[in-house]
Amino acid sequence: MRIGYGYDVHRFEKDGPLILGGVEIPFEKSLAGHSDADVLLHAITDALLGACALGDLGKHFPDTSEDYEDIDSRVLLRDALALVEEKGFAVGNIDTTIVAEKPRLAPYIDEMRQVIARDLRVDIDQVSVKATTSEGMGFEGRIEGISARAVVLLVES
């Protein structure tokens, strides 16, 4: 068994929609980034790589590369899973937290879980997505950006 942890943060830009957990969410702002800036999928991808001590997202998918410009972060997630599988592991379960003051994410959580479960080839009950606010404090609270944290447990396949 291996455990991995991932953290990511992206700042808001002007126009929406917002992409979180592979789901398009109607909102007046989107997240800025070289890819589609899906902060949740980036945290999970980082956790997968971390569990295998393979470095981080930036090492595997450099934001200086044109290959990854505006890329769908689901592609990065699936690429990271392939690396995990090469090492002889499969996902046991993942647990994640998104910290966002706005928008309200509850209506989209199950759809995110479904997308992530499909990409990681696990059942939806192996994927936990939680969302919280920071009670108005810090950059999330000032609606300057969104952060996400993920923990993943890998099992021998």
Q: How far is the CB of 67 from Zn ion (least distance, A)?
A: 16
The yes or no reply on residue 8 touching Zn ion (CB under 5 A) is: yes
Q: In the complex, what is the shortest distance from the CB of residue 34 to Zn ion, in angstroms, rounded to a whole number? A: 8
Q: Which residues contact 119 (CB under 8 A, 6 or more apart)?
A: 22, 74, 77, 78, 81
- Site membership for Zn ion, residue 149 (CB under 5 A): no
Within the chain, strands assigned E span 2-13, 18-20, 23-25, 30-31, 89-99, 127-132, 145-156
* Residue 29 within binding range of Zn ion, rule CB under 5 A: no
**Quick check: 42 binds Zn ion (CB under 5 A)?**
yes
Stretches 1-9, 88-96, 101-109, 115-123: which one binds Zn ion (CB under 5 A)?
1-9
Which listed range, 37-45, 81-89, 121-129, 148-156, lies at the site for Zn ion (CB under 5 A)? 37-45
Cα–Cα distance, 93 to 106 (Å, whole number): 21
- Does 101 contact Zn ion by CB under 5 A? no
Between 9 and 117, name the residue whose CB sits nearer to Zn ion.
Answer: 9
Nearer to Zn ion, 8 or 119 (CB): 8
Distances (CA, A) of 65 to 6, 7, 8: 22, 21, 19
Provide the CA 56 distance to its chain's centre, in angstroms: 13
- Closer CB to Zn ion, residue 42 or residue 113? 42
- In degrees, to the nearest 5, what angle opens at C-alpha 91 toward C-alphas 41 and 39? 10
Residues that bind Zn ion (CB under 5 A): 8, 42
